[in-house]
Amino acid sequence: MNDRPTLFPVAEFHGRVEGLQRRLAQAGQDALLLTSAADIFYVTGFLTRFWESPARPWFLLVPAKGAPVAVIPAIGRDLMERTWITDIRMWDAPDPRDDGISLLADAISEHVPPDGLLGVPMGLETSLRMPLADYHRLLDRIAPRRPADATDIIQRVREVKSEAEVDRIRLTCAIASEAFDAVPAIVNRAPTLDAVFRGFQSALLDAGADWVSYTAGAAGAGGYGDVISPAGPQPLSPGDVLMLDTGAVRDGYFCDFDRNFSIGPVADETRQAHDALHAATDRLIDDLRPGMLACDAHRQLCAALELRGMRPGGGRLGHGLGVTLTEWPSFTDHDQTPLVAGMVLTIEPSVVLSSGRILVHEENVVLRPDGPELLSPRAPGEMVEIPL
Nearer to a second copy, 201 or 270 (CB): 201
Taking the C-alpha atoms of residue 244 and residue 259, their distance in angstroms, rounded to an integer, is 6
User: Does position 128 bind a second copy by CB under 8 A?
Assistant: yes
From candidates 11, 67, 74, 307, binder to a second copy by CB under 8 A: 74
User: Does position 1 bind a second copy by CB under 8 A?
Assistant: yes
| Contact map string, positions 334 to 353, toward a second copy, x by CB under 8 A | xx------------------
- Closest distance of CB 31 from a second copy, Å: 17
- Closest distance of CB 91 from a second copy, Å: 11
Cα pseudo-dihedral 177, 182, 188, 190, rounded to 10: -90
User: Does position 47 bind a second copy by CB under 8 A?
Assistant: yes
Q: Write the DSSP assignment of 116-140 as a string of letters.
A: -EEEE--STT----S-HHHHHHHHH
| Contact window for a second copy (CB under 8 A) among 8-16, 111-119, 128-136, 368-376 | 128-136
User: Does position 38 bind a second copy by CB under 8 A?
Assistant: yes
* Stretch 143-162 residues interacting with a second copy (CB under 8 A): 149, 151
From candidates 15, 48, 162, 384, binder to a second copy by CB under 8 A: 48
* Stretch 156-195 residues interacting with a second copy (CB under 8 A): 193-194
* Stretch 212-271 residues interacting with a second copy (CB under 8 A): 212-216, 218-220, 224-234, 247
How far is residue 191 CA from its own chain's centroid? 30
Taking the C-alpha atoms of residue 171 and residue 69, their distance in angstroms, rounded to an integer, is 31
Number of H helices, E strands in the chain: 11, 19
User: Does position 55 bind a second copy by CB under 8 A?
Assistant: yes
> Cis ω on the peptide bond leading into residue 338 (within 30° of 0)?
no
| Contact window for a second copy (CB under 8 A) among 24-32, 78-86, 162-170, 299-307 | 78-86
- Closest distance of CB 66 from a second copy, Å: 25
Is residue 340 a contact partner of residue 367, using CB atoms and an 8 Å limit?
A: yes
| Contact window for a second copy (CB under 8 A) among 176-184, 208-216, 278-286, 373-381 | 208-216
3-class SS at 347? strand
Closest CA to 27 of 153, 124, 136, 126: 153
Nearer to a second copy, 91 or 283 (CB): 91
Nearer to a second copy, 186 or 305 (CB): 186
* Stretch 314-333 residues interacting with a second copy (CB under 8 A): 314-316, 319, 324-326, 328, 330, 332
From candidates 12, 27, 75, 88, binder to a second copy by CB under 8 A: 75
Contacts of 51 (CB under 8 A, 6+ apart): 37, 58
Contacts of 55 (CB under 8 A, 6+ apart): 93, 94
Q: How many CB atoms lie within 10 A of CB 233?
A: 8
Q: Say how many residues touch a second copy, by CB under 8 A.
A: 92
Nearer to a second copy, 8 or 197 (CB): 197
Closest CA to 274 of 385, 383, 181: 383
Q: Write the DSSP assignment of 272-287 as a string of letters.
A: HHHHHHHHHHHHHHHH
From candidates 14, 22, 49, 189, binder to a second copy by CB under 8 A: 49
Nearer to a second copy, 210 or 362 (CB): 210
Angle between the 294-307 and 268-287 helix axes, to the nearest 10 degrees? 140
Cα 12 to Cα 17, 83, 220, 320: the distances in Å are 9, 12, 45, 20
User: Does position 50 bind a second copy by CB under 8 A?
Assistant: yes
- Closest distance of CB 68 from a second copy, Å: 20
From candidates 120, 153, 236, 284, binder to a second copy by CB under 8 A: 120
Is residue 61 a contact partner of residue 103, using CB atoms and an 8 Å limit?
A: no
- Closest distance of CB 167 from a second copy, Å: 18
For every residue of 188-214, which 3-state class applies, written as one string? HHCCEHHHHHHHHHHHHHHCCCCEEEE
